[in-house]
Amino acid sequence: MGNDMNDKQVLVTGGTGFIAQYCIMALLTAGYAVRTTVRSLGREAEVRGNLRTGGAEPGERLTFVVADLTGDDGWDEAAAGCAYVMHGASPTPSGDRTREEDWIRPAVDGNLRVLRAARNAGVKRVVLTSAFGAIGVGHKPGYHRPFKETDWSDLTGNVAPYQKSKTLSERAAWDFVASEGRGLELSAINPVAVLGPALGPDYSHSIRLIKNLMDGQRGCPKINSCFVDVRDVADLHLRAMTEPVASGERFLATSGDSLWMVEVARVLRQRMGHAASKVPTRVLPNWMVRLAARRNPALKGIVPMLGYNMNASGEKAQRLLGWQPRSPEEAIVATAESLVRLGLVEN
C-alpha cells in the first residue's frame, strides 16, 4: 500500500445516479473529499445542480473523472489515493435490451474493473450497491418470508435480465475479493425500492411509481414491495464503509414491512391532499394487467410480480450498524412532496 492514500478521499462511481448523489452528499457532510466518475464531463454541471437542489455546494471537495464500466480507461486514475470506494454505477444496455448477455457481461465486467482498480490502488474497502434483485426474485411459492441477507435470487425461476445481472455481478464481486482481493474488504448493500426526495427530472424507477400514481394511472396492480428512503440508503453505505463489523457482509436496505401498491396509494391520498386527487385506489385484477401487458411491452416486466410477496427484513443493518431508517410512509410522502416542489407531476 502506498503512503499517498488520503483517509478522507472516497471514490463514488456513477455520479449521475440517484443513490450515488445522496452518497456524495452524505460523504461531504461527514467531512470526506469525493471523486466521482461520469461517462462524460458534460454531465458535471447536471450533477452539481442536483447536489445544489439537495443543499450541497462542494466546490473543490468534489472532483470528476471520466471512466466507463465497459472499458479500462480512467479506473486506475479514479481509484488512486482513495481510502474507500462506493460502487453503484451499473451499465444500462441501450437499444433493444432483450438479450440477457447485453445486461450480464457488462455488469459482471464492470464490477471486476472497479474491484481490480481498487485493489491495485490499495483501497481499504469497497461498498458495492447491489440490489434486492440479487436476493428476493425467482423463488418458488412457499419460500420463506421475510427475505434475509442469506438469501440469493433463484436464477432457475422467472428472473428479469436486470435482476439476473445484479445477482451474477454481486456473486462475481464476492468471488473476486475471496480469490484475488489481497486483503481488499467488501460490503454489499441491497436496497429494495428506493424512494425519497428527487433532485431533478432524472430519478429512480421507484420514484416513477409514485409519479404514475399521482398522475392518475388507471388503477393499482397487485404489486408488492418494500421501500426505503434514499437518504437512509446513503447513511447505510457510510456505516458499511467504516464499521469494522461490516466487512464481508451484505445488508438489505429496507425500512419496514412490504406494502401493496393500493396501500401506497392510500398513503398518498391521506397525506398529500389536493396533490393526490388523481391517485387511484382501485385494485386492477391480475387478468386485466396480463391482458394489457400483451399490448403494452412496458407492462410485461410486472406480470411475474403479480401477487408476489416481496417482504424483506432490515434487521441486520439495524442490529450490527445501528442503522435507523425512516418509515416507508415517510419515504413515500417525501417523494411525493419533492415531485410537487420540482413541478414534476401534472396538476
Written as one letter, the residue type at 301 is: G
Report the C-alpha gap between 259 and 309 in whole angstroms: 9
C-alpha–C-alpha distance, residues 4 and 7, integer Å = 9
Q: What is the dihedral of CA 93, 204, 167, 101, to 10 degrees?
A: -10
In angstroms, the CA 291 to CA 256 distance is 32
Distance of CA 4 to the CA centre of its chain: 31
Comparing C-alpha atoms, which of 265, 291, 262, 294 is closest to residue 278? Answer: 265
CB under 8 Å to 215, separation ≥6 — which residues?
278, 345, 346
Residue 313, judged by CB atoms within 10 A of its CB (0-12, 13-18, 19+), counts as: middle
For residues 24, 25, 29, 33, the Cα torsion angle rounded to the nearest 10 degrees is: 30
Vertex 29: Cα angle to 330 and 118 (nearest 5): 105
Report which residue type is found at 114. V
C-alpha separations of 151 from 61, 126, 190 in Å: 38, 21, 11
The one catalytic residue in 140, 148, 164, 166 is 166
Cα–Cα dist 101/81, whole Å: 34
d(CA 253, CA 259): 15
What residue type is 22 in one-letter code? Y
Compute CA distances 194 → 41, 137, 197, 247, 328, whole Å: 26, 17, 10, 23, 10
Active site residue 222: no
Q: Which residues pair with 85 in a beta bridge?
A: 11, 126
Catalytic residue annotation: 166
